[in-house]
A and B are shown apart, each in its own frame.
Chain A
Protein backbone atom coordinates (compact mmCIF):
# COMPACT_ATOMS: atom_id res chain seq x y z
CA UNK A 1 0.00 0.00 0.00
CA UNK A 2 2.66 2.46 1.03
CA UNK A 3 4.57 1.80 -2.15
CA UNK A 4 1.60 2.74 -4.24
CA UNK A 5 1.22 6.01 -2.35
CA UNK A 6 4.90 6.83 -2.72
CA UNK A 7 4.61 6.16 -6.40
CA UNK A 8 1.65 8.54 -6.66
CA UNK A 9 3.48 11.29 -4.83
CA UNK A 10 6.48 10.89 -7.09
CA UNK A 11 4.30 11.17 -10.17
CA UNK A 12 2.56 14.29 -8.94
CA UNK A 13 5.94 15.92 -8.21
CA UNK A 14 7.06 15.05 -11.70
CA UNK A 15 4.06 16.69 -13.26
CA UNK A 16 4.56 19.83 -11.18
CA UNK A 17 8.20 20.09 -12.22
CA UNK A 18 7.31 19.67 -15.84
CA UNK A 19 4.98 22.69 -15.82
CA UNK A 20 5.52 25.84 -13.83
CA UNK A 21 7.40 26.11 -10.61
CA UNK A 22 5.34 26.23 -7.45
CA UNK A 23 6.01 29.97 -7.03
CA UNK A 24 4.73 30.72 -10.53
CA UNK A 25 1.62 28.58 -9.92
CA UNK A 26 0.68 30.41 -6.76
CA UNK A 27 1.24 33.69 -8.59
CA UNK A 28 -1.28 32.59 -11.17
CA UNK A 29 -3.66 31.51 -8.46
CA UNK A 30 -3.45 34.92 -6.87
CA UNK A 31 -4.52 36.52 -10.10
CA UNK A 32 -7.62 34.30 -10.22
CA UNK A 33 -10.55 36.51 -9.19
CA UNK A 34 -12.27 33.63 -7.45
CA UNK A 35 -9.20 32.98 -5.33
CA UNK A 36 -9.18 36.68 -4.47
CA UNK A 37 -12.69 36.43 -3.14
CA UNK A 38 -11.82 33.40 -1.01
CA UNK A 39 -8.85 35.15 0.60
CA UNK A 40 -11.13 37.09 2.85
CA UNK A 41 -13.46 34.17 3.71
CA UNK A 42 -12.75 31.78 6.61
CA UNK A 43 -13.65 28.58 4.69
CA UNK A 44 -14.46 25.45 6.68
CA UNK A 45 -14.02 22.00 5.11
CA UNK A 46 -16.09 19.62 7.16
CA UNK A 47 -14.95 16.28 5.67
CA UNK A 48 -11.25 15.43 5.83
CA UNK A 49 -9.91 11.91 6.43
CA UNK A 50 -6.81 10.28 7.79
CA UNK A 51 -5.48 6.96 6.57
CA UNK A 52 -6.84 5.12 9.56
CA UNK A 53 -5.59 1.75 8.47
CA UNK A 54 -2.06 2.93 7.77
CA UNK A 55 0.38 0.97 9.84
CA UNK A 56 1.69 4.05 11.68
CA UNK A 57 -1.75 5.02 12.78
CA UNK A 58 -2.59 1.51 13.84
CA UNK A 59 0.63 1.45 15.86
CA UNK A 60 -0.54 4.64 17.62
CA UNK A 61 -3.79 2.85 18.36
CA UNK A 62 -1.94 0.20 20.33
CA UNK A 63 -1.25 2.63 23.17
CA UNK A 64 -4.95 3.18 23.57
CA UNK A 65 -6.23 -0.37 23.44
CA UNK A 66 -6.34 -2.97 26.20
CA UNK A 67 -5.76 -6.67 25.72
CA UNK A 68 -6.87 -8.72 23.93
CA UNK A 69 -7.61 -6.05 21.31
CA UNK A 70 -4.14 -4.54 21.59
CA UNK A 71 -2.60 -7.93 20.88
CA UNK A 72 -5.01 -8.51 18.05
CA UNK A 73 -3.94 -5.35 16.23
CA UNK A 74 -0.29 -6.06 16.94
CA UNK A 75 -0.65 -9.55 15.53
CA UNK A 76 -2.31 -8.53 12.31
CA UNK A 77 0.23 -5.77 11.74
CA UNK A 78 2.99 -8.31 11.38
CA UNK A 79 3.81 -9.18 7.79
CA UNK A 80 2.62 -12.63 6.69
CA UNK A 81 -0.41 -12.68 8.98
CA UNK A 82 -3.93 -12.58 7.57
CA UNK A 83 -4.90 -9.13 6.37
CA UNK A 84 -6.09 -6.76 9.05
CA UNK A 85 -9.83 -7.02 8.68
CA UNK A 86 -10.22 -7.97 12.28
CA UNK A 87 -12.73 -5.28 13.11
CA UNK A 88 -15.23 -6.28 10.52
CA UNK A 89 -17.63 -9.16 10.28
CA UNK A 90 -16.04 -10.74 7.26
CA UNK A 91 -14.43 -14.10 6.87
CA UNK A 92 -11.25 -12.68 8.36
CA UNK A 93 -12.77 -11.48 11.60
CA UNK A 94 -9.92 -12.47 13.82
CA UNK A 95 -9.58 -15.91 12.27
CA UNK A 96 -6.17 -16.37 13.78
CA UNK A 97 -7.32 -15.60 17.34
CA UNK A 98 -4.52 -13.08 17.94
CA UNK A 99 -2.04 -15.65 16.75
CA UNK A 100 -3.16 -18.44 19.09
CA UNK A 101 -4.65 -20.35 16.16
CA UNK A 102 -3.14 -19.35 12.83
CA UNK A 103 -5.39 -20.24 9.91
CA UNK A 104 -2.51 -21.80 8.06
CA UNK A 105 -0.17 -24.13 9.88
CA UNK A 106 2.34 -23.42 7.12
CA UNK A 107 2.56 -21.83 3.70
CA UNK A 108 2.11 -24.33 0.89
CA UNK A 109 3.95 -23.45 -2.29
CA UNK A 110 5.95 -26.57 -3.02
CA UNK A 111 4.63 -30.05 -3.70
CA UNK A 112 7.52 -31.95 -2.24
CA UNK A 113 8.45 -29.93 0.80
CA UNK A 114 5.11 -28.50 1.82
CA UNK A 115 2.81 -31.34 0.85
CA UNK A 116 4.45 -34.69 0.18
CA UNK A 117 7.07 -34.57 2.92
CA UNK A 118 4.68 -33.22 5.53
CA UNK A 119 1.70 -35.41 4.73
CA UNK A 120 3.62 -38.62 4.33
CA UNK A 121 5.59 -38.21 7.53
CA UNK A 122 2.85 -36.74 9.73
CA UNK A 123 -0.28 -38.35 8.37
CA UNK A 124 0.79 -41.41 6.35
CA UNK A 125 -0.65 -39.93 3.14
CA UNK A 126 0.56 -41.47 -0.13
CA UNK A 127 -1.68 -39.77 -2.68
CA UNK A 128 -2.52 -36.12 -1.99
CA UNK A 129 -5.42 -34.63 -4.00
CA UNK A 130 -4.66 -30.92 -4.17
CA UNK A 131 -6.94 -27.97 -4.84
CA UNK A 132 -5.92 -24.35 -5.26
CA UNK A 133 -8.87 -22.89 -3.30
CA UNK A 134 -8.77 -19.66 -5.29
CA UNK A 135 -12.00 -18.33 -3.71
CA UNK A 136 -13.14 -16.33 -6.70
CA UNK A 137 -16.89 -16.71 -6.32
CA UNK A 138 -17.33 -13.12 -5.22
CA UNK A 139 -15.27 -11.51 -7.98
CA UNK A 140 -17.74 -9.17 -9.62
CA UNK A 141 -16.30 -9.12 -13.11
CA UNK A 142 -17.14 -12.33 -14.93
CA UNK A 143 -14.28 -12.41 -17.42
CA UNK A 144 -11.84 -11.60 -14.63
CA UNK A 145 -13.13 -14.44 -12.43
CA UNK A 146 -12.93 -16.84 -15.37
CA UNK A 147 -9.41 -15.69 -16.27
CA UNK A 148 -8.08 -15.95 -12.70
CA UNK A 149 -9.69 -19.35 -12.27
CA UNK A 150 -8.15 -20.67 -15.47
CA UNK A 151 -4.77 -19.32 -14.43
CA UNK A 152 -5.12 -20.98 -11.02
CA UNK A 153 -5.84 -24.33 -12.70
CA UNK A 154 -2.77 -23.94 -14.87
CA UNK A 155 -0.63 -23.18 -11.83
CA UNK A 156 -2.07 -26.25 -10.11
CA UNK A 157 -0.98 -28.44 -12.99
CA UNK A 158 2.39 -26.84 -13.65
CA UNK A 159 3.55 -26.13 -10.14
CA UNK A 160 1.96 -28.83 -8.04
CA UNK A 161 1.17 -31.83 -10.26
CA UNK A 162 3.78 -32.00 -13.00
CA UNK A 163 6.55 -34.40 -12.01
CA UNK A 164 4.70 -35.66 -8.93
CA UNK A 165 3.10 -38.87 -10.11
CA UNK A 166 1.40 -39.63 -6.80
CA UNK A 167 -0.36 -36.22 -6.85
CA UNK A 168 -3.82 -35.51 -8.25
CA UNK A 169 -5.57 -32.19 -8.59
CA UNK A 170 -9.09 -30.82 -8.44
CA UNK A 171 -9.67 -28.16 -11.09
CA UNK A 172 -11.70 -25.18 -9.88
CA UNK A 173 -14.64 -23.65 -11.63
CA UNK A 174 -16.41 -20.37 -10.85
CA UNK A 175 -20.19 -20.12 -10.96
CA UNK A 176 -20.43 -16.85 -12.92
CA UNK A 177 -20.84 -18.26 -16.42
CA UNK A 178 -21.71 -21.98 -16.41
CA UNK A 179 -20.93 -22.41 -20.12
CA UNK A 180 -17.48 -20.95 -19.59
CA UNK A 181 -17.08 -23.26 -16.58
CA UNK A 182 -18.07 -26.24 -18.74
CA UNK A 183 -15.47 -25.21 -21.31
CA UNK A 184 -12.88 -25.01 -18.58
CA UNK A 185 -13.82 -28.51 -17.43
CA UNK A 186 -13.40 -29.79 -21.01
CA UNK A 187 -10.04 -28.04 -21.30
CA UNK A 188 -8.48 -28.96 -17.99
CA UNK A 189 -9.81 -32.54 -18.03
CA UNK A 190 -7.23 -33.23 -20.75
CA UNK A 191 -4.60 -33.13 -18.00
CA UNK A 192 -3.94 -36.66 -16.76
CA UNK A 193 -3.67 -35.73 -13.11
CA UNK A 194 -6.85 -33.67 -12.92
CA UNK A 195 -9.32 -35.95 -11.17
CA UNK A 196 -12.28 -33.76 -10.27
CA UNK A 197 -14.11 -30.45 -10.55
CA UNK A 198 -13.94 -28.20 -7.50
CA UNK A 199 -16.48 -25.56 -6.49
CA UNK A 200 -16.41 -23.46 -3.34
CA UNK A 201 -19.83 -23.77 -1.75
CA UNK A 202 -20.13 -20.25 -0.39
CA UNK A 203 -20.79 -17.10 -2.36
CA UNK A 204 -22.28 -18.88 -5.36
CA UNK A 205 -25.49 -16.86 -4.93
CA UNK A 206 -27.75 -19.25 -6.87
CA UNK A 207 -27.47 -22.62 -5.12
CA UNK A 208 -25.52 -25.20 -7.07
CA UNK A 209 -28.30 -27.56 -8.14
CA UNK A 210 -30.00 -24.85 -10.14
CA UNK A 211 -30.55 -25.88 -13.78
CA UNK A 212 -28.41 -22.98 -14.92
CA UNK A 213 -25.37 -24.97 -13.74
CA UNK A 214 -26.33 -28.08 -15.70
CA UNK A 215 -23.68 -27.42 -18.39
CA UNK A 216 -21.06 -27.91 -15.65
CA UNK A 217 -22.54 -31.23 -14.56
CA UNK A 218 -22.86 -32.42 -18.14
CA UNK A 219 -19.22 -31.52 -18.80
CA UNK A 220 -18.14 -33.31 -15.60
CA UNK A 221 -20.10 -36.39 -16.66
CA UNK A 222 -18.74 -36.30 -20.21
CA UNK A 223 -15.21 -36.15 -18.84
CA UNK A 224 -15.78 -38.76 -16.16
CA UNK A 225 -15.03 -36.33 -13.33
CA UNK A 226 -16.72 -36.05 -9.94
CA UNK A 227 -17.88 -32.65 -8.68
CA UNK A 228 -16.43 -31.62 -5.33
CA UNK A 229 -18.10 -29.05 -3.09
CA UNK A 230 -15.79 -27.32 -0.69
CA UNK A 231 -17.46 -26.02 2.47
CA UNK A 232 -15.91 -22.83 3.73
CA UNK A 233 -16.39 -19.82 5.93
CA UNK A 234 -15.20 -18.05 2.81
CA UNK A 235 -15.89 -14.79 0.99
CA UNK A 236 -19.55 -14.76 0.06
CA UNK A 237 -20.77 -16.47 3.19
CA UNK A 238 -22.00 -13.06 4.35
CA UNK A 239 -24.05 -12.83 1.20
CA UNK A 240 -25.52 -16.32 1.52
CA UNK A 241 -26.19 -16.04 5.24
CA UNK A 242 -25.92 -12.38 6.21
CA UNK A 243 -27.05 -12.94 9.77
CA UNK A 244 -23.99 -15.12 10.45
CA UNK A 245 -21.60 -12.37 9.54
CA UNK A 246 -23.60 -9.36 10.59
CA UNK A 247 -25.28 -10.44 13.79
CA UNK A 248 -23.32 -13.34 15.24
CA UNK A 249 -20.64 -12.15 17.65
CA UNK A 250 -17.68 -14.41 17.06
CA UNK A 251 -15.62 -16.19 14.49
CA UNK A 252 -16.42 -19.33 16.45
CA UNK A 253 -20.06 -19.01 15.38
CA UNK A 254 -19.07 -17.98 11.87
CA UNK A 255 -16.89 -21.01 11.42
CA UNK A 256 -19.25 -23.44 13.14
CA UNK A 257 -22.12 -22.50 10.87
CA UNK A 258 -20.49 -21.42 7.61
CA UNK A 259 -19.40 -24.80 6.31
CA UNK A 260 -22.51 -26.73 7.19
CA UNK A 261 -24.91 -23.98 6.12
CA UNK A 262 -23.40 -23.70 2.67
CA UNK A 263 -23.31 -27.49 2.30
CA UNK A 264 -26.92 -27.76 3.53
CA UNK A 265 -27.94 -25.24 0.93
CA UNK A 266 -26.16 -26.80 -2.01
CA UNK A 267 -26.89 -30.42 -1.21
CA UNK A 268 -30.58 -29.62 -0.79
CA UNK A 269 -30.48 -27.71 -4.05
CA UNK A 270 -29.14 -30.78 -5.85
CA UNK A 271 -32.13 -32.77 -4.65
CA UNK A 272 -34.80 -30.17 -5.29
CA UNK A 273 -33.56 -29.98 -8.88
CA UNK A 274 -33.06 -33.69 -9.38
CA UNK A 275 -29.43 -33.17 -10.39
CA UNK A 276 -28.22 -36.66 -9.41
CA UNK A 277 -31.09 -38.13 -11.47
CA UNK A 278 -30.25 -35.89 -14.42
CA UNK A 279 -26.59 -36.91 -14.34
CA UNK A 280 -26.50 -40.48 -13.05
CA UNK A 281 -22.79 -40.94 -13.79
CA UNK A 282 -21.65 -37.92 -11.80
CA UNK A 283 -20.33 -38.48 -8.29
CA UNK A 284 -20.98 -35.64 -5.86
CA UNK A 285 -18.38 -35.13 -3.14
CA UNK A 286 -18.70 -32.83 -0.13
CA UNK A 287 -15.71 -31.61 1.87
CA UNK A 288 -15.01 -29.78 5.11
CA UNK A 289 -18.24 -29.99 7.03
CA UNK A 290 -17.65 -33.23 8.92
CA UNK A 291 -20.31 -35.94 8.82
CA UNK A 292 -22.76 -35.20 11.63
CA UNK A 293 -24.63 -32.81 9.31
CA UNK A 294 -25.66 -35.77 7.19
CA UNK A 295 -28.74 -36.08 9.38
CA UNK A 296 -30.03 -33.69 6.71
CA UNK A 297 -30.32 -36.67 4.37
CA UNK A 298 -32.91 -38.27 6.62
CA UNK A 299 -34.87 -35.06 6.71
CA UNK A 300 -34.67 -34.88 2.92
CA UNK A 301 -36.02 -38.44 2.75
CA UNK A 302 -39.03 -37.32 4.67
CA UNK A 303 -39.56 -34.16 2.64
CA UNK A 304 -39.19 -36.13 -0.58
CA UNK A 305 -41.83 -38.63 0.51
CA UNK A 306 -44.19 -35.87 1.57
CA UNK A 307 -43.76 -33.74 -1.54
CA UNK A 308 -42.55 -36.03 -4.30
CA UNK A 309 -44.62 -34.29 -6.94
CA UNK A 310 -42.47 -31.17 -6.49
CA UNK A 311 -39.32 -33.11 -7.36
CA UNK A 312 -40.57 -35.51 -10.01
CA UNK A 313 -37.15 -36.22 -11.51
CA UNK A 314 -36.14 -38.10 -8.37
CA UNK A 315 -36.78 -41.79 -8.78
CA UNK A 316 -35.79 -42.86 -5.30
CA UNK A 317 -35.19 -41.42 -1.87
CA UNK A 318 -32.37 -38.90 -1.36
CA UNK A 319 -30.62 -41.42 0.86
CA UNK A 320 -30.55 -43.98 -1.94
CA UNK A 321 -28.97 -41.41 -4.26
CA UNK A 322 -26.51 -40.52 -1.51
CA UNK A 323 -25.41 -44.10 -1.01
CA UNK A 324 -24.98 -44.53 -4.77
CA UNK A 325 -23.57 -41.23 -6.00
CA UNK A 326 -22.46 -39.11 -3.03
CA UNK A 327 -19.33 -38.99 -0.91
CA UNK A 328 -18.32 -37.01 2.14
CA UNK A 329 -14.91 -36.13 3.52
CA UNK A 330 -14.59 -37.11 7.16
CA UNK A 331 -12.79 -33.88 8.04
CA UNK A 332 -13.27 -32.10 10.39
CA UNK A 333 -14.06 -35.07 12.60
CA UNK A 334 -17.07 -34.21 14.74
CA UNK A 335 -16.48 -34.43 18.46
CA UNK A 336 -19.25 -36.01 20.49
CA UNK A 337 -18.21 -36.16 24.15
CA UNK A 338 -18.84 -39.86 24.17
CA UNK A 339 -16.43 -41.25 21.59
CA UNK A 340 -18.64 -44.25 20.95
CA UNK A 341 -21.09 -41.91 19.29
CA UNK A 342 -18.48 -40.89 16.75
CA UNK A 343 -18.02 -44.52 15.92
CA UNK A 344 -21.78 -44.84 15.45
CA UNK A 345 -21.80 -41.86 13.12
CA UNK A 346 -19.05 -43.36 10.99
CA UNK A 347 -20.85 -46.70 11.01
CA UNK A 348 -24.06 -45.06 9.83
CA UNK A 349 -22.46 -43.94 6.56
CA UNK A 350 -19.27 -45.94 6.63
CA UNK A 351 -17.73 -47.47 3.59
CA UNK A 352 -20.62 -46.36 1.38
CA UNK A 353 -19.85 -42.69 1.35
CA UNK A 354 -16.91 -41.58 3.50
CA UNK A 355 -13.47 -40.46 2.34
CA UNK A 356 -10.53 -39.50 4.50
CA UNK A 357 -9.16 -35.93 4.21
CA UNK A 358 -6.72 -33.84 6.26
CA UNK A 359 -7.44 -30.25 5.13
CA UNK A 360 -3.71 -29.54 5.22
CA UNK A 361 -2.50 -26.86 5.96
CA UNK A 362 -5.53 -25.33 7.66
CA UNK A 363 -6.31 -25.12 11.35
CA UNK A 364 -9.08 -27.72 10.99
CA UNK A 365 -6.57 -30.39 10.14
CA UNK A 366 -7.31 -34.05 10.96
CA UNK A 367 -4.75 -36.72 11.66
CA UNK A 368 -5.29 -40.04 9.90
CA UNK A 369 -4.66 -41.79 13.19
CA UNK A 370 -7.49 -39.83 14.80
CA UNK A 371 -9.92 -41.28 12.27
CA UNK A 372 -8.49 -44.76 12.55
CA UNK A 373 -8.99 -44.66 16.32
CA UNK A 374 -12.76 -44.77 15.73
CA UNK A 375 -12.57 -47.61 13.21
CA UNK A 376 -10.70 -50.16 15.30
CA UNK A 377 -13.43 -52.77 15.19
CA UNK A 378 -14.58 -52.11 11.63
CA UNK A 379 -13.71 -54.68 9.01
CA UNK A 380 -10.51 -54.10 7.12
CA UNK A 381 -12.50 -53.61 3.95
CA UNK A 382 -14.65 -50.93 5.58
CA UNK A 383 -11.57 -49.11 6.91
CA UNK A 384 -9.86 -49.29 3.56
CA UNK A 385 -12.89 -47.91 1.77
CA UNK A 386 -12.70 -44.81 3.93
CA UNK A 387 -8.93 -44.52 3.85
CA UNK A 388 -8.54 -44.95 0.09
CA UNK A 389 -10.83 -47.26 -1.82
CA UNK A 390 -13.72 -44.83 -2.22
CA UNK A 391 -11.37 -42.06 -3.31
CA UNK A 392 -9.45 -44.38 -5.62
CA UNK A 393 -12.69 -45.29 -7.34
CA UNK A 394 -14.26 -41.85 -7.54
CA UNK A 395 -11.05 -40.03 -8.50
CA UNK A 396 -9.83 -42.91 -10.64
CA UNK A 397 -6.49 -43.41 -8.92
CA UNK A 398 -4.56 -46.61 -9.49
CA UNK A 399 -2.95 -47.21 -6.11
CA UNK A 400 -1.08 -50.31 -7.19
CA UNK A 401 1.69 -48.23 -8.76
Chain B
Protein backbone atom coordinates (compact mmCIF):
# COMPACT_ATOMS: atom_id res chain seq x y z
CA UNK B 1 0.00 0.00 0.00
CA UNK B 2 1.31 3.41 -0.85
CA UNK B 3 1.02 6.46 1.33
CA UNK B 4 -0.52 9.60 -0.11
CA UNK B 5 1.79 12.06 -1.75
CA UNK B 6 1.15 14.70 0.88
CA UNK B 7 2.34 12.31 3.58
CA UNK B 8 5.83 12.27 2.03
CA UNK B 9 8.28 14.78 3.40
CA UNK B 10 9.83 16.09 0.17
CA UNK B 11 12.34 18.85 -0.42
CA UNK B 12 11.60 21.55 -3.01
CA UNK B 13 13.78 19.86 -5.59
CA UNK B 14 12.09 16.47 -5.12
CA UNK B 15 9.15 15.53 -7.31
CA UNK B 16 6.79 12.59 -7.35
CA UNK B 17 6.27 11.56 -10.95
CA UNK B 18 4.16 8.40 -10.49
CA UNK B 19 3.12 5.73 -8.12
CA UNK B 20 5.63 2.93 -8.26
CA UNK B 21 3.05 0.39 -9.35
CA UNK B 22 2.15 2.59 -12.31
CA UNK B 23 5.65 2.19 -13.68
CA UNK B 24 5.99 -1.53 -14.33
CA UNK B 25 9.23 -3.22 -15.33
CA UNK B 26 10.17 -2.26 -18.87
CA UNK B 27 7.99 0.86 -18.79
CA UNK B 28 9.01 4.47 -18.92
CA UNK B 29 7.35 7.84 -18.52
CA UNK B 30 8.29 11.36 -19.48
CA UNK B 31 7.67 13.90 -16.75
CA UNK B 32 7.70 17.66 -17.11
CA UNK B 33 9.49 19.03 -14.04
CA UNK B 34 10.44 22.70 -13.69
CA UNK B 35 9.99 23.06 -17.44
CA UNK B 36 12.36 20.18 -18.13
CA UNK B 37 11.39 16.86 -19.67
CA UNK B 38 12.74 13.94 -17.69
CA UNK B 39 12.56 10.32 -18.79
CA UNK B 40 12.06 7.86 -15.95
CA UNK B 41 12.61 4.14 -16.58
CA UNK B 42 11.98 0.95 -14.68
CA UNK B 43 14.52 -1.53 -15.96
CA UNK B 44 14.59 -4.89 -14.24
CA UNK B 45 13.04 -3.38 -11.12
CA UNK B 46 15.58 -0.53 -10.89
CA UNK B 47 14.67 3.08 -11.52
CA UNK B 48 16.69 5.37 -13.79
CA UNK B 49 16.09 8.94 -14.90
CA UNK B 50 17.71 11.04 -17.62
CA UNK B 51 16.97 14.35 -19.35
CA UNK B 52 14.86 13.80 -22.45
CA UNK B 53 17.50 15.50 -24.52
CA UNK B 54 20.10 13.84 -26.70
CA UNK B 55 23.60 15.24 -26.62
CA UNK B 56 23.97 14.57 -30.34
CA UNK B 57 21.52 17.05 -31.79
CA UNK B 58 18.94 17.53 -29.05
CA UNK B 59 16.50 14.77 -30.02
CA UNK B 60 13.90 13.40 -27.57
CA UNK B 61 16.16 10.58 -26.50
CA UNK B 62 13.98 9.13 -23.75
CA UNK B 63 11.16 8.52 -26.21
CA UNK B 64 13.31 6.16 -28.24
CA UNK B 65 13.09 2.42 -28.45
CA UNK B 66 14.27 0.40 -25.48
CA UNK B 67 15.60 -2.90 -26.71
CA UNK B 68 18.81 -4.91 -26.98
CA UNK B 69 21.78 -4.66 -29.24
CA UNK B 70 24.16 -6.80 -31.24
CA UNK B 71 27.55 -7.65 -29.83
CA UNK B 72 30.18 -9.49 -31.82
CA UNK B 73 33.22 -11.60 -31.16
CA UNK B 74 35.86 -12.50 -33.75
CA UNK B 75 37.90 -15.66 -33.50
CA UNK B 76 41.22 -15.18 -35.22
CA UNK B 77 41.99 -18.87 -35.54
CA UNK B 78 38.76 -19.94 -37.19
CA UNK B 79 38.21 -16.48 -38.74
CA UNK B 80 34.58 -16.81 -37.61
CA UNK B 81 32.58 -13.91 -36.22
CA UNK B 82 29.90 -14.71 -33.71
CA UNK B 83 27.08 -12.22 -33.28
CA UNK B 84 24.79 -12.15 -30.27
CA UNK B 85 21.70 -10.18 -29.38
CA UNK B 86 22.32 -8.99 -25.84
CA UNK B 87 21.09 -6.60 -23.15
CA UNK B 88 17.42 -6.79 -24.13
CA UNK B 89 15.45 -3.96 -22.53
CA UNK B 90 18.56 -2.00 -21.49
CA UNK B 91 19.62 -0.21 -24.66
CA UNK B 92 17.94 3.08 -25.44
CA UNK B 93 18.13 4.28 -29.05
CA UNK B 94 17.54 7.92 -29.82
CA UNK B 95 14.61 8.25 -32.23
CA UNK B 96 16.34 10.89 -34.33
CA UNK B 97 19.58 9.18 -35.38
CA UNK B 98 19.69 5.92 -33.53
CA UNK B 99 22.59 6.58 -31.16
CA UNK B 100 22.59 3.82 -28.59
CA UNK B 101 22.79 4.45 -24.85
CA UNK B 102 23.05 1.99 -22.00
CA UNK B 103 19.98 3.02 -20.02
CA UNK B 104 21.36 1.39 -16.86
CA UNK B 105 24.56 3.44 -16.78
CA UNK B 106 23.98 6.36 -19.13
CA UNK B 107 27.00 5.33 -21.21
CA UNK B 108 26.81 6.15 -24.90
CA UNK B 109 27.80 3.14 -27.01
CA UNK B 110 28.99 5.21 -29.97
CA UNK B 111 30.63 8.24 -28.44
CA UNK B 112 32.55 8.15 -25.17
CA UNK B 113 32.13 11.88 -24.70
CA UNK B 114 28.37 11.63 -24.69
CA UNK B 115 27.44 10.00 -21.39
CA UNK B 116 23.90 10.72 -20.20
CA UNK B 117 23.48 12.76 -17.06
CA UNK B 118 21.87 10.49 -14.48
CA UNK B 119 19.18 12.17 -12.44
CA UNK B 120 18.61 10.78 -8.95
CA UNK B 121 15.38 8.79 -8.73
CA UNK B 122 14.07 6.52 -5.98
CA UNK B 123 11.10 4.61 -4.79
CA UNK B 124 9.76 6.13 -1.61
CA UNK B 125 6.78 4.55 0.01
CA UNK B 126 5.33 3.44 -3.30
CA UNK B 127 6.12 6.67 -5.12
CA UNK B 128 8.67 7.39 -7.78
CA UNK B 129 10.58 10.43 -6.61
CA UNK B 130 12.91 12.39 -8.88
CA UNK B 131 15.44 14.88 -7.48
CA UNK B 132 16.37 17.66 -9.85
Q: Do A and B bind each other?
A: yes
Using a CB–CB distance below 8 Å, which chain A residues touch chain B?
211, 214-215, 218, 274, 277-278, 302, 304-310, 312-313, 317
Inter-chain contacts of B76 with A (CB < 8 A): 218, 278
- Asked if A305 contacts B111 (CB within 8 A), the reply is yes
Given contact pairs A218-B79, A274-B81, A312-B83, A304 touches B71 in the complex (Cβ within 8 A): no
Q: Which of B56-108 contact A (CB under 8 A)?
A: 56, 69-72, 74, 76, 79, 81, 83, 97-100
Measured between alpha carbons, how far is A277 from B71 in the docked complex, in Å?
Answer: 13
Measured between alpha carbons, how far is A304 from B70 in the docked complex, in Å?
Answer: 13
Inter-chain contacts of A304 with B (CB < 8 A): 110
- Asked if B110 contacts A305 (CB within 8 A), the reply is yes
- Asked if B70 contacts A309 (CB within 8 A), the reply is yes
- Asked if A306 contacts B98 (CB within 8 A), the reply is yes
Using a CB–CB distance below 8 Å, which chain B residues touch chain A?
56, 69-72, 74, 76, 79, 81, 83, 97-100, 109-111
Inter-chain contacts of B74 with A (CB < 8 A): 274, 277-278, 313
Given contact pairs A211-B81, A307-B98, A312 touches B70 in the complex (Cβ within 8 A): yes
> Apart from A278-B76, A312-B72, what are 17 other A-B pairs with CB-CB below 8 Å?
A211-B79, A211-B81, A214-B79, A304-B110, A305-B99, A306-B99, A308-B69, A308-B100, A308-B109, A308-B110, A309-B69, A309-B100, A312-B70, A312-B71, A312-B83, A313-B72, A317-B111
Inter-chain contacts of A278 with B (CB < 8 A): 74, 76, 81
User: Given B71, B79, B97, which contacts A305 in the complex, CB threshold below 8 Å?
Assistant: B97
Inter-chain contacts of B98 with A (CB < 8 A): 305-307
Inter-chain contacts of B100 with A (CB < 8 A): 308-309
Measured between alpha carbons, how far is A270 from B44 in the docked complex, in Å?
Answer: 37
- Asked if B111 contacts A274 (CB within 8 A), the reply is no
* Nearest CB of B to A349, in Å: 21
Q: Which of A211, A307, A309 has the most CB of B within 10 A?
A: A309
Measured between alpha carbons, how far is A53 from B123 in the docked complex, in Å?
Answer: 88
Measured between alpha carbons, how far is A302 from B109 in the docked complex, in Å?
Answer: 13
Measured between alpha carbons, how far is A306 from B94 in the docked complex, in Å?
Answer: 9
* Nearest CB of B to A70, in Å: 56
Measured between alpha carbons, how far is A302 from B110 in the docked complex, in Å?
Answer: 10
The closest CB in chain A to the CB of B79 belongs to A214
The closest CB in chain A to the CB of B97 belongs to A306
* Nearest CB of B to A264, in Å: 22
The closest CB in chain A to the CB of B68 belongs to A309
The closest CB in chain B to the CB of A279 belongs to B76
Measured between alpha carbons, how far is A244 from B99 in the docked complex, in Å?
Answer: 36
Inter-chain contacts of B72 with A (CB < 8 A): 274, 312-313
Q: Which of B56, B74, B76, B98 has the most CB of A within 10 A?
A: B74
* Nearest CB of B to A350, in Å: 22
Please list 12 pairs of residues, one from A and one from B, whose beta carbons are closer than 8 Å in the complex, sorted by A's number. Answer: A211-B81, A215-B79, A218-B79, A278-B76, A304-B110, A305-B110, A308-B69, A309-B69, A310-B70, A312-B71, A312-B83, A313-B72
* Nearest CB of A to B55, in Å: 12
Measured between alpha carbons, how far is A313 from B72 in the docked complex, in Å?
Answer: 5
Inter-chain contacts of B109 with A (CB < 8 A): 308
- Asked if A317 contacts B71 (CB within 8 A), the reply is no
Measured between alpha carbons, how far is A50 from B99 in the docked complex, in Å?
Answer: 65
